[in-house]
Structure 1
Amino acid sequence: MTIKKTCNKALAILAVGAGLVTSAHASYIVSGESKGLQWQASNKLTGAAPGGTATFDGVTFDPVGNPIYHPSYPEHSGVVGMLMQTENGAFICSGTLLSDRRSILTAAHCVSGGAGTANPLSTSVFFQPEGGLAPWERIYNRPPGIVEIDVSKYTVHEEYTGEVIDQNDIAVLTLSDYAPDWARSHYIYDEGDLTGKDFNVAGYGRMGDGAGSFGATGRLRQGYNTYDYAWGNSAFNGFFDGFFGTADVEFSYLSDFDSGSPVNDMSGRIAAAVGAGLAFADTGLGDIEVGVSGGDSGGPNFINGLISGVNSYGLTFGQGFGDADEFFNSGFGEYSGYVPTYIHAKFIEDAMVPAPGIIALLGLSFLGMGLRARRQSA
């Protein structure tokens, strides 16, 4: 698990959004240069402890990895895998069951190229079996016990531009049926600014060990990181306004994938480079720290079991600012970007399915209005 703003096509990393196809894996990566800084970003968890979320020695792939990154049940039972069928093939993302038990919170780029563009031909949502899957099993292989439910409605944020870095990269999907009883549903975290807060992050993306991501998607992993800042933090004095494109990024939050060495502290080094001094220097949470990778897009950030953010994108400013190598591969130093839920509380609430009791009360209310109108006209 090395989470980046990407979906996965088949077993390959793929980001939905504008950009350049840079490999046979059809990985869409957007790059640019602004105000003297070069960057690469992609719509896309790798663990820092020995064994990582999985291991690969160049010959043998071990999908089990270090148990500290395995999900806990029932805590992570509401984190779902998503399979989207489009005219261009099949894509993979992650999502989270909301409190109405009929809605999935995810990233908009998983199901849209921008507000108003076409949705997938179909989307299937995969729930873990009660008690969860074994750590080596892939949910998309449909092992016994999983529950698969189709999506019947897509609600994409109306201000989502389709750009890779966009604080409105958020969507709510309505299921055609209720989630299984054992799946834990979640409310959102709406207590404001996330800067400096630790969070749990989860997803079904590609796995890794800090040296890059590898292997197939479909195995749920989790870990921790810290929200370092948002691009609109006052310490930056507007430096990142319009830096990446036209989309709103003021509340786009970042964490970097720390190795424990200041060399890989991209958040601290970038902040210092744009005039914020050492205010954001930090070397991470140790072994429990993770980053995001292809297929983790749309997955949750949790603070005390509440959804505080949605996995949105990956970003690097290169080796000169802490990337562990020359490759954009979800390794140490690279950024993960998130969409905070607190700025989208009304959008999420409005998109959810009303409780049956509320629908009944509304029906009675309209009935009462009709009866009163008839009496007045009689």
Structure 2
Amino acid sequence: MYSVITMILPKLQNTIYQKILKPTFFQFDAENVHDFMTLSGQILGSNSITRKITETVFLYKHPSLKQHIAGLDFANPIGLSAGFDYDAKLINILPSVGFGFHTAGTITNLPYEGNPKPRLGRLPKSQSLLVNKGFKSAGIDKIIPRLKNKKGQVPLGISLGSTNKTYPDFDAQIDDVRQAFVKVIQANVGDYYELNISCPNLCNIGDNGISFSTAAGFKKLLSALRDLPFNKPVFIKMHLEKTLSETDEFLKIASGFDFVTGCIFSNLCKDRTNPVFDKDEIKTAGMGNFSGKPCFTGSNRLISFAYKNYSDRFIIIGVGGIFNAQDAYAKIKAGASLVQMITGMVYQGPSIIGQINKDLVRLLKKDGFENISQAIGADHR
């Protein structure tokens, strides 16, 4: 009976989301829907009974998906990327939905109310989301108590970036990021950190053209963080639209800092001429940048490059355009040890996480792998 229920539930969940919930949600403003879903998730995560019910409905486990990476145990390789739970309100429900890990943030040192609305949008034909929040954040001081209230055992990441404001000089912007790291280290919250240097929706360009998006600015930032007492893995969220030569320069710089554990490829798409976009849809898109399928190929290209040249130095996390197990598997075979997603969940509903994990097991068996770790970088062997 149980096996019959587990076979029927995913199909039923998908049908309900695709035929009823998604068409309804997509009639409303994207940020309002996000806020509603966040509130719903907070309620579900508030007690053990609702967490267990959610887990029964969504969670899929299999031993072939387990990995031990950077001192952390991952039940599966599918994580929630930074950018969805930016104020850490969902940390107690996300493990029950089926994620193997999840990142809160990006969180900033000081509060920022976000860029002017509308700052979220949908491009369904392009399988993309328009994003222009600009590090909307309640600020690290307000969020730390929530992070201390984590209930689950799934690894929780904290993405940190600079407060979106104008700084008197570049050193002041660096100090802002450093203060945020000092606070999370002292509070001993989270299981790993992400340093977001690549969000394209910020106003704080810095002085004289230097920023975290330049090699010189990136090196100066890491130098300012070097003496902090890091005792947890640190991952750098990299740019999508850098050349391989530019990416190599950033990776060389990062490799010189022992506290950097790995890199995440990659952040949002800025190029509106990307061939994945529906031409009519992109013409009407507002201010901001894009997640989802327009990021897929470029992300895989950078994952592959980083794995071929730095696999002995960095753990790679892949993000961008994952809508099914084949998408996740492509990033893993390109060199990613773990992958993250948001957009695929928005378009296909939370049941997609369990479905991806279930289908990954089938793909592993088909290729003769006993564990997901054996598939990492398989394209290069």
Q: Whose Rg is larger?
A: 1
As a proportion of its length, which structure holds more strand?
1
Q: Which of the five TM-score ranges fits, normalised by the shorter chain? A: under 0.3
Q: 1 or 2 for the larger relative contact order (CA 8 Å, sep ≥6)?
A: 1
TM-score (norm 1): 0.27
